[in-house]
Amino acid sequence: MFKKLLVLLAVIVPVAGFCAPDVKKKKEEPVVHLTDEQIYEELKKLALVFEVARDSFVEEADEKKMLEGAMSGMLGALDPHSSYLSKDDFKDFNDKSHGEFGGLGIQITSDRGAVRVIAPIDDTPAAHAGIKAGDYITHIDDEQVFDLTLNQATQKMKGRPGTKVKLKVISDGEEPRDITLKRAIIKVKSVKFEDKTLADDDSENPAKIGYIRISDFGATTTKELKEAIDALEKKDVIGYVLDVRNNPGGYLTAAIEVSDAFLDGGEIVSTRGKEKNDIDRAYATPGDLTGGKPVVVLINHGSASASEIVAGALQDNGRALIMGSQSFGKGSVQQQKPLGDGTAIHITIARYYTPSGHSIQNEGITPDIEVLQSKIEVLEKKESLYSEASFKNSLKNDAAKKKADKKDKDKDGDADQELTDAEKDAMDYQLQRAMDMVRALDKIQRRAVAAPADPNMPVGTETQSLPQTDIRAEKSDTDKKQK
């Protein structure tokens, strides 16, 4: 038994040491590597601990559980995202990656012994219950999570669809609350889209803005995105809002392909592993599917990993304005390494960097224009009490009267209805500001195209569109006003 255990550990330890950079270590505390002899002595000690614990524990010991716990602890000591995957865990992971799985619809990580929410997935029990990015889960069915590994906590939250689980959730600045959720089959449709108009745009032909919501980056995301852009282009939208708020991430390849859809060239992301020369770079291919139309990307504290890759790529290439709040800051890449018996290691193999060489780890993406989610109180009436229309016997505008009558009729008909999608959109402050920005950028581009050429400009250098760098250069003044 002792020899078999040493062989098992000797196989696992080199894999962990080679693949995972220590993302938590500080420069002032360099790693002290053990010699082969010292490693062998430590493994002998571990085997001795196993033997003593198995023989001395007050109840009958579960050897498999003990060994899996040792492997989980070994990988968990590297960083919050590395872990050992049992057969069931590995199967569940693959099920999630293909768009359907059972549970609550919540992406979590380990944080100082507690379970922290990265983001809830759209249209799932967790999202409907009001669980938010940054919330902490301290108890599952009245059991503390502090003694559980991340995989164990995940397993406790999963279960047969229709059954219930009780969570104690702590939100920033609020009292702990108990939430009971009903488990469900989580079917993830990664991309939703529609053409939208600004809430306050009551013109005859309001500008259509393409709204694309990506809730996670899975195996079908790229295909769904291309279908969305194709459909919106047929509706002659003037630009796009790409919404990746509360998107916890997913496949690196999906993030690269999504970025490529909006770019005509340039670097998208680089991944850098343990060795100095272990660098991979991904580049965009020719062909911007939107034809260069304005793009605004919405991010928030729940935008993590693959979401940050997309935002960083479009920001650094000057292709889009990033609006919202600081993103989550997960700048590491994980990979599954099967061990040959149905189990696997989920391990951090690299950090990723934006095209400008910026590491997102623990920092996130800083929006070009910070727009915090807010509620708006209108202080000025849309129609002034003093205007031409306020004069006695002023000439009437027949078209305006018909429009007002129609608005009153529509208002009466909707009096007893629930909020419509358009009314919900109007309450989403970040979305409204993003759409406002798309409309502004579209106007700037159209004016640049229509402007007469400068007679002093050499032939062939006329401006066809406003360079993205010029748009970005105006950001600071707008930002100050916003703040």
Q: How far is Cα 352 from Cα 251, in angstroms, rounded to an integer?
A: 13
Residue identified by tokens 């005509």 is: 264
> Token digits for 360?
């997102």
Q: Which of 135, 260, 316, 425 is catalytic?
A: 316
Q: How far is Cα 321 from Cα 331, in angstroms, rounded to an integer?
A: 20
Q: Is residue 230 annotated as a catalytic residue, yes or no?
A: no
Instruction: Kindly list the distances between the CA atom of residue 268 and the CA atoms of 176, 281, 298, 334, in Å, as whole numbers in the listed order.
Output: 41, 8, 18, 18
Residue identified by tokens 């993205």 is: 468
Give SS3 for 430: helix
Q: How far is Cα 86 from Cα 89, in angstroms, rounded to an integer?
A: 5
> Token digits for 152?
């164990």
Q: Counting beta carbons within 10 angstroms of the beta carbon of residue 172, is it exposed (0 to 12), middle (13 to 18) or buried (19 or more)?
A: exposed
Q: How far is Cα 320 from Cα 259, in angstroms, rounded to an integer?
A: 11
> Token digits for 109?
């990580």
In total, the chain counts a number of residues equal to 483
Which value, in Å, is the radius of gyration of the alpha carbons in the chain?
A: 27
Q: How far is Cα 244 from Cα 217, in angstroms, rounded to an integer?
A: 10
Residue by residue, DSSP assigns 317-336 as TTS-EEEES------EEEEE
Q: How far is Cα 9 from Cα 40, in angstroms, rounded to an integer?
A: 10
Q: Which of 168, 196, 293, 330 is catalytic?
A: 330
Q: Which of 110, 190, 305, 327 is catalytic?
A: 305
Q: How far is Cα 164 from Cα 46, in angstroms, rounded to an integer?
A: 39
The helix, strand and coil proportions of the chain, stated in percent and rounded to the nearest 5, come to 35, 20, 45
Q: Is residue 305 annotated as a catalytic residue, yes or no?
A: yes
Q: Which residues are catalytic?
A: 305, 316, 330
